[in-house]
Amino acid sequence: MAEIDWSVLSGPRVSRRTLLQVAAASGSLAFAAGLAGASQPGAAKTAVPSAARAKQAATQGGTLRVGFQISQIVTLDPGQLSQGVVAGSVLPSLFSSLVQFDEELGIIPDLAETWEVSEDGLRYTFKLRPGLTFHNGDPLMAADVLYTYERTKNPDFASPHANKLALVTEITAPDDLTVNLTLSAPFAPFLAVACTRGPGRALTPVPRRAIEELGDERFGITPVGSGPFMIVPETVEVGRGFEMVAFEGWYAGRPNLDKIELRLVPEASSAVSGLEAGDLDVIDPVPTPSVEQLKGNPDITIVSLPSTMWRGAVMNYARPPWDNIDARMAVSKAINRQDFVDKAFFGLATPAVGGIAPAFGWAYKPPEEVDNPQGYNLDEAKALAEKAGLTGLKPVIISSEEIGQRPSELLRTVLSDIGIEAQLDFQQAATFNERWQAGDFDMFLHGSVVDADPDDGHWNIFHSTGPWNTYGYKSDKADELLEATRATSDQAERARLFQELQTLLETDVAAAFIYHVQDLIALHNDVKGYLAIPEQRYYEKVSLER
């Protein structure tokens, strides 16, 4: 194992250069190594405001109208949130966390003004800013971080993010502004996956009094955070959206905008027409069929960045014939992945040969470098389907707007090529999440998005105790490999372990891995100061020049 002084990860800022140097030595915070911020081929006009431009005098006031391409937000409680697009696009406006990413993918202070990491990587000390407050006026202090830790870890709360805190053996608050954490072993991506605004929501501070007064369910609908904007409870309409107003007490000063109107617009044509007509200022994310149309509009800019997501078909082991590896392999071998991404995403995606996204370049291998046992071979797929008795089978594919109608319809078409008569059940987000989290499905396009490290998209879905492994994949070897990727501090070893895991998952057909989609957001040109961070939306520096 490579020797490394983990204290170089100490605050007040860990630059991208330092993160890359640490990653090269140890695998720590590999998120920064993979996401260089360059646009993907085939993307539309790209605008990445520099820090200097963002600091110029900005226009104050105005309302940013965001068309969010989803039908329903299930919860805004950081400890319960499992919708990745919501964690990246909405949560950063409502909740600050201990640290955050800058546009160069360095880790910078958020609620913690500074932090220190011990040389052995086992002890983290966060120094909170003085005078922090939640939206309800309650002070935010070290005790709130401890409360958040206990709440996330509480088995009765059943947070899907509790596993990110599994190595924490002790957490203390020696004073109101200091939080000390001790880990049992170095955890390479700990800062990124557990402590950042957006993806690292395991330790995103929440206020005890608000939760006790509202209850968990109501808190999830009208949360009280400490971010740059606060929700207006009376504007919340399930299935329609809500308003967020500038938080005057935010530690970094009042945001430029007065208000954000978040409108849920699941219909792609409505979102695009709304943007072009000037009824919306932002579409998030951009529907890929509309990219070419929007590229031709001189009033609109599309920002395209590499994403950390993967998606593939998972089949419920508890429902035969999907407990039969021949049946699962038949499905996987029937998928021509390049043809799939061309048809589903108009080329604005990459074929997947596993769950390691292209953004994580230190561990990722392109399809041509991988001997993929799931590779497309329709003749073999038909033979396996016949052997497994799939002809005439009528499974139900569940789906929602977060996945998209088109990819699920293409999956149904693929299945028809091997004699399966699949049905598509397209649902609103709440129903869809309830179904797949309860294991009540035959098949769906599972995956992960807004990841800070490959750990995010693998542990939750492929570890035997993973909160999103509701389809029944169990492998002692996969568990062993996943646990090893968390324990080692050597990047080359982490990469080797993830590659070995990927081969195992492909061979077992834990999922029929299919695609990685680019991160796309469209903005009117009068939206200024947007900081382009992959799959995360920070709106506090945005202003409107109309």
Same-domain status, 91 and 137: yes
Q: Do 361 and 335 share a structural domain?
A: yes
Domain annotation covers residue 419: yes
Does residue 30 share a domain with residue 116? yes
**In a shared domain, residues 234 and 325:** no
Residue 196, pLDDT score: 93
Identify whether 29 is part of a domain: yes
Q: Are residues 249 and 275 in the same domain?
A: yes
In this structure, the answer to whether residues 50 and 94 fall within a common structural domain is no
Distance linking the first and last C-alpha atoms of the chain: 56
Instruction: Give a yes or no: residue 420 inside a domain.
Output: yes
8 Å CB contact between 88 and 449: yes
**Where does residue 320 rank: exposed (0-12), middle (13-18), buried (19+ CB within 10 A)?**
exposed
Is 422 found in the same domain as 326?
yes
The verdict on 281 and 325 lying in the same domain is: no
Do 445 and 481 share a domain, yes or no? yes
Count Cα neighbours of 126 within 13 Å in the Cβ-side half-sphere.
29
pLDDT at 451: 84
Q: Considering only CA atoms, which of 437, 432, 371 is closest in space to residue 405?
A: 432
The CATH number of the domain holding residue 239 is 3.40.190.10
CATH number at residue 423: 3.10.105.10
Q: 464 and 476, same structural domain? A: yes
Q: What is the secondary structure of 93-149 as a DSSP string? A: HH---SEEE-TTS-EEESSEEEEEE-TTS-EEEEEEPTT-B-TTS-B--HHHHHHHH
User: DSSP strand E in 410-464: where?
Assistant: 423-426, 443-448
Q: What is the DSSP string of 462-526?
A: HSTT-TT--S----HHHHHHHHHHHH---HHHHHHHHHHHHHHHHHHTSSEEEEEEPEEEEEETT
Structure tokens at 278: 């000037």
Q: Of 163, 186, 220, which one is at a domain's C-terminal end?
A: 220
- Encode pLDDT of 521-538 as tens digits: 999 999 999 989 888 999
* Residue where a domain terminates, one of 202, 220, 238: 220
Domain for residue 524, yes or no?
Answer: yes
pTM score, two decimals?
Answer: 0.83
**Domain co-membership, 511 together with 523:** no
CB neighbours of residue 66 within 10 Å? 25
**b/e map of 186-215 (b: 16 or more CB within 10 Å)?**
bbbbbbbbbbbbbbbbbbbbbbbebbeebe
Assign residue 152 the CATH number of its domain.
3.90.76.10
Domain limit, last residue, from 220, 242, 268: 220
Asked whether residue 504 is assigned to any structural domain, the reply reads yes
Residues of the chain with pLDDT under 50: 1-2, 20, 23-54
Residue 211 lies in a domain: yes
Domain count for the chain? 3
- The burial class, CB within 10 Å (0-12 / 13-18 / 19+), for 17 is exposed
Segments forming the whole domain that contains residue 545 = 42-69+228-305+519-546
Residues 62 and 87 in one domain: no
Measure the CA–CA gap between 451 and 82, rounded to whole angstroms. 12
In a domain, 1, yes or no: no
